[in-house]
Amino acid sequence: MRLGERAGLKESKPLRDIFGDALLEVVENNPKVVVLDGDLGNSTKTELTRKAFPERSFNIGIAESNLVCIGAGMAGAGLIPWITSFSSFLLCNGYDQIRLSVAISNLNAKILGSHGGITLGKDGPTQMGIEDLALVGGLPTVVILVPSDPVTMHKAVKAATDHVGPVWLRSSRIAMPYIYPQDQEFIIGKAITTREGNDLTIIANGMMVAAALDAAVALQEDGIQARVIDLHTLRPIDREAITKAAKETGAIVTAEEHLLHGGMGSNVARVVAENCPVPMRFVGLADTYVESGDPDDLLEKYHLTSSDIEAKAREVLAAKGETA
């Protein structure tokens, strides 16, 4: 079944395409914005800006450390650079520079980590960004955004550009269904309650929001009302929304296309433990690298589907009953 089909979500677009359109828009509207890429403009979709504004676009080549440092220098000179590449390349080859030149200096630089998660499929584990949120999570000044659909991706690009300070934006190649109307409000640090429910809460980000909505519909068939929260900002995390969900529903499942260790779920668990401990279950990647394959097959093999969320929801409801 197609992602979001059970929840009635129809049209879908690749988030990298949406990023390319949104980036061109902010470049058109803000003369301080410049774009840097690591010879991957056709994959990250920065090529649209390069064609329209060649004087404000810079291909640094396959040299991620230099890419970050040049972008940091531009930020220090008062420009607003978008530093773009695959998240795996930026974090494996340029982490030291991101930490020293951007994060510690708290520069106004924006970083696109494209092709996050496992859904780029046949390109294989060397290009899959499955540890990106954990690594960027170790940089305390950096805002972390993980949009879930084309609307929130488009709005996230503008919000990141307008925010003063370093931002990491996760993108992906997979087509994601539209969850929200075009006028959906997007505020950094404020989660979106996508579906109401009082029996349990499913907190997700990225593509897993649509999967969570599919799971919620399946659970509803058995009379289970699941609240679904889109935690599109991992830092600053919306402690209020998480605590409210724990108090009102008494059970939480998290779902992410990322390693469980150091990912969204562990951050949510910390908030829950500090404010309102309730039974929790987690959907994400175990301690493993992922092989090449068709994206749908990989999601199924590594237990990142709506059925896996549904199973964890039933499991946490049983635990909720035992602790009631």
132-134-137 Cα angle (round to 5): 105
Q: Which is nearest to 303 in space by CA: 253, 251, 269?
A: 253
- In angstroms, rounded to a whole number, what is the distance separating the alpha carbons of residues 311 and 136? 30
User: In sequence order, which ranges of the chain are alpha helices (DSSP H)?
Assistant: 15-29, 41-44, 47-52, 64-76, 87-93, 95-97, 132-137, 150-162, 208-220, 239-249, 264-275, 295-301, 306-323
Tokens of 11: 């049209």
274, 282 Cβ separation under 8 angstroms = no
Catalytic residue among 25, 28, 64, 291: 64
Per the DSSP assignment, residues forming a β-bridge with 83 are: 36, 111
210-213-217 Cα angle (round to 5): 145
Q: How far is CA 304 from CA 32, 110, 152, 285, 300, in A?
A: 40, 29, 21, 8, 6
Q: Is 141 exposed, middle or buried (0-12, 13-18, 19+ CB in 10 A)?
A: middle
- In angstroms, rounded to a whole number, what is the distance separating the alpha carbons of residues 136 and 95? 9
64 flagged as catalytic? yes
List the end-to-end C-alpha distance of the chain, in Å, as a whole number. 35
DSSP structural state of residue 124: -
Active site residues: 64
